[in-house]
């Protein structure tokens, strides 16, 4: 499996107090552990199991992810921005690997 690559879409600028839409996607196979390989052996579970988003260190959104989610998990949510700053997105998988992405926004 290729290393998961996070992708995030959010505006570069916003007005103070504006509610913005944030879209995230990470490429990941999300193997549930329910399938078997060609020899009939179970394929080990390997999923992204937690997603978090912070803005300037303050939690904005988080969720625990279960095996039933599809490959390449996509999340869309909103956040109200009052000041310029940086969003930090984190995805954690079953092996304890953490994939992060940071992206800033400016208040105009």
* Domain range annotation of the chain: 6-34+43-107
Non-local CB neighbours of 24 within 8 Å, separated by 6+ positions: 6, 7, 8, 9, 51, 53, 74, 75, 76, 89, 101
pTM, rounded to two decimals:
0.89
State the average pLDDT over residues 18-45.
91
CATH of domain 6-34+43-107: 2.60.40.10
% pLDDT > 70, the chain: 98
Q: pLDDT tens digit string along 42-56?
A: 988 888 999 999 999
């Amino acid at each position: 499996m290729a290393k998961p690559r996070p992708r995030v879409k959010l505006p570069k600028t916003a007005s103070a107090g504006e509610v913005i839409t944030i879209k995230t996607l990470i490429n990941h196979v999300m193997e549930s552990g329910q399938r078997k390989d060609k020899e009939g052996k179970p394929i080990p579970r390997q999923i992204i199991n937690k997603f978090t988003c912070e803005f300037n260190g303050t939690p904005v959104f988080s969720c625990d992810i279960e095996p039933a989610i599809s490959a390449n998990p996509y999340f869309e949510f909103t956040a109200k921005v009052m000041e310029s700053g940086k969003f930090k997105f984190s995805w954690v998988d079953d092996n304890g690997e953490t994939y992060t992405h940071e992206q800033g926004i400016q208040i105009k």
